[in-house]
């Protein structure tokens, strides 16, 4: 938990092989060329991931997000980490919901070089560090209003469990930096100090995130959808201590991956978001802890 502020194209056709003719006592049979193989289906193009929809907090990073079914008239939402909550880190077992908030967020331009303006929350809808590490704010403006003013759309939250091997982008509004790496796999339990998180995303080493990147959206580079919220890295090889998370498997075995970063999945929170940008724990697929 980062608390410090801180190619080559393959040939599309198979070779036809060596053509042969069957001899007969009278004359050679005609040779029929083999039909060329159908071209391989091209890989889907990757989305150009930049700072569109990215926000900076006073101590963390975050993103302007929406569900696939959100209406343009719905109040906009901002996603970050639970440990970035302005009221302090939620205790183990604590779930905070529907609290008034005036938290401000600096909305970045696509290059990340300047702020387009300040967005402001009207409520902190959900925050916890139990099983996951997420916080969701409702803003005092709609998606349509923000797009009219800043020409900035929200990032879409995926409703699907991520897949190992996915090409990732971790976009930090605080540091105005984009990390590129792969989804190495999943930690059954990720333990850091007094907190435990389930089914966490584990990065390949290239995403060497630092303090201030907490809350950055983890974006699937192929779809452009948000699949997680960046939240920690094992800084110096410590075991299960603050800033040094460890993995615990189903049998209780503990593993440490020094200098490897992690994120929390967001599909189970996205499923909880109902029309009007409210949290409805009864919705199918809503799997976050309840208050």
What is the distance of C-alpha 35 from the center of its chain? 44
Q: How many residues does the chain have?
A: 291
Q: What is the pLDDT of residues 157-169, one digit of tens each?
A: 999 999 999 999 9
Q: What is the pLDDT of residues 12-36, one digit of tens each?
A: 333 333 323 333 333 444 555 555 5
Q: What is the pLDDT of residues 57-75, one digit of tens each?
A: 999 999 999 999 999 999 9
SS3 264: strand
Structure tokens at 80: 């970050």
> What b/e readout covers 162-178, taking b as 16+ CB neighbours within 10 angstroms?
beeebebbbbbbbbbbb
- pLDDT, mean over the chain: 90
């Amino acid at each position: 938990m980062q608390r410090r502020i801180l190619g080559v194209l393959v040939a599309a056709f198979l070779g036809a092989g060596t053509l042969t003719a069957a001899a007969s006592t009278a004359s050679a049979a005609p040779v029929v060329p083999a039909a060329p193989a159908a071209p391989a289906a091209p890989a889907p193009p990757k989305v150009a991931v930049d700072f569109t929809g990215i926000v900076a907090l006073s101590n963390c990073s975050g993103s302007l997000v929406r569900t696939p079914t959100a209406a343009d008239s719905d109040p906009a939402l901002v996603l970050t980490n639970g440990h970035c909550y302005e009221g302090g880190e939620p205790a183990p077992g604590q779930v905070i919901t529907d609290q008034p908030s005036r938290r401000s967020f600096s909305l970045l331009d696509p290059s990340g070089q300047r702020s387009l303006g300040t967005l402001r929350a009207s409520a902190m809808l959900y925050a916890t560090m139990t099983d996951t590490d997420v916080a969701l704010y409702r803003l005092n403006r709609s998606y349509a209003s923000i797009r009219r003013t800043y020409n900035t759309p929200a990032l879409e939250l995926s409703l699907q469990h991520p897949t190992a091997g996915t090409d990732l982008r971790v976009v930090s509004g605080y540091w105005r930096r984009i990390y590129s790496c792969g989804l190495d796999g999943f930690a059954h339990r990720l333990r850091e100090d007094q907190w435990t998180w389930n089914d966490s995303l584990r990065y390949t080493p290239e995403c060497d995130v630092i303090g201030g990147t907490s809350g950055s959206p983890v974006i699937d580079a192929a779809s452009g959808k948000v699949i997680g919220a960046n939240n920690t890295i094992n800084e110096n090889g410590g075991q299960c201590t603050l800033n040094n998370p460890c993995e615990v498997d189903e049998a209780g075995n503990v593993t440490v991956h020094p200098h490897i970063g992690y994120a929390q999945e967001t599909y189970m929170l996205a499923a909880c978001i109902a029309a009007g940008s409210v949290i409805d724990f009864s919705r199918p697929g809503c799997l976050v802890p309840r208050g």
